[in-house]
Structures are given as structure tokens and as C-alpha cells.
Amino acid sequence: MAGFDPTRLPRVPSAPGLTVDEVAWLLHATAEIVAAELYALGDLAGWRPAGGEWCANEVVGHIVESDRRGFTGRIRRILAAPEGNEPDEEGWDQPSVAAARGDCAKPGTVLIDELTASRADAIDLVRSLRPEDLDRAALHRAVGRITVRELLNEWCLHDRTHLQQLLKNVQARAWPVMGNTRRFTDPEA
């Protein structure tokens, strides 16, 4: 299953997806995993694994900004719009926001606190959603019509993508010095 990529699965609108309760628990789980990883990394959380790659702290800063701009912010704007009105949504310049935040230079504990607060707010919002809220929508300029239900599912996928990125930062630190043990992972190494 190492090559399995869920983003290659076909679109099935009738699939059950994730429930509101499951999303709330998964958002909580992400915050717990991120906190554990940043605590364990300590000062290494500001290390970049390669040119153009985010340090672990920047990954966490991006998750926080995505909560604010792309998920809780967007869902709140959808719900605040008059019934039947689908607000226009824009994207945001993620690399510029990451650069302006300067997260590589921050202590990981600052980012853990920021994520913990962001997630508490996010989980409260998710748990407050009513069934009739889930099909409310916005029109995103880049991707088209998006519903609250779709955003909730994408939020969990987005989190897991960045959890993988966070974990790969540690792998990038370990791999170059593993000697022959690299062959346990790649027989050609």
C-alpha cells in the first residue's frame, strides 16, 4: 500500500464522507499529533529539509492560517450570507503569508499555543453546524462552487497532507546518515 494515493480515487458524490462529529475529532487529533511532533523536534522545528521546503514550524503556521482563511473563515462567511446567497471567495497567497509569519525563527511552543487556540475555535464551529448548514455554499474563484460539507472533508484531507509533510521533515534529517540501514527502506540505497 506504499503507493496508495487517495487523491487518485474517483469522484463519488453519493459516498458518505465524514460526519460533523468525525471531522471535529479528526481536527482535534491533528492538533495533538502536531503538538507531540513539535515538542519532540524542539530546536529542530525551524530547520528546512531542502531549499524551497517549509520547516516544521512553517507547516504548523500554514495549518493555522488555513484554519483562519480557508476553513473556519470561509465557513463563517458562507453561514453569514443571506440564505440562497453564495458569497464569492478568493484564494490567498500562501508562500507570502508563510514568509511574513517568520515561523522558522519562533519557538515551537508558540505555534503549538496558536494551533491549540485555532483548533478549539474550529472544533466549536464544526460542532455547532446544523444539517441544513452543510449544503450551503460559496463560489470560489479558482475552483468553483464549494459547500460546507465539502470544506469539512477537504479540511481533514488537508490536515493529513501537512501531517505527512511534517513527518517528512524528520525523515529528511535521518535519511542522509542512516548508512546501510537505508536498504531496509530502499534496497537500492
CB-based contact 89:139 (threshold 8 Å): yes
Which fold would CATH assign to domain 18-174? Four Helix Bundle (Hemerythrin (Met), subunit A) (1.20.120)
Task: Give the pLDDT confidence score for residue 4 in this predicted structure.
Answer: 86
The pLDDT averaged over each successive group of 10 residues in the chain (189 residues) is: 81 91 98 97 94 95 96 97 93 91 96 97 98 97 96 98 95 94 92
Question: Can you give the pTM of this predicted structure?
Answer: 0.93
CB-based contact 108:45 (threshold 8 Å): yes
CA distance 146 to 154: 10
Task: Give the pLDDT confidence score for residue 1 in this predicted structure.
Answer: 45
Task: Give the pLDDT confidence score for residue 2 in this predicted structure.
Answer: 64
Tell me which residue of 128, 164, 134 sits closest to 149, measured CA to CA.
134
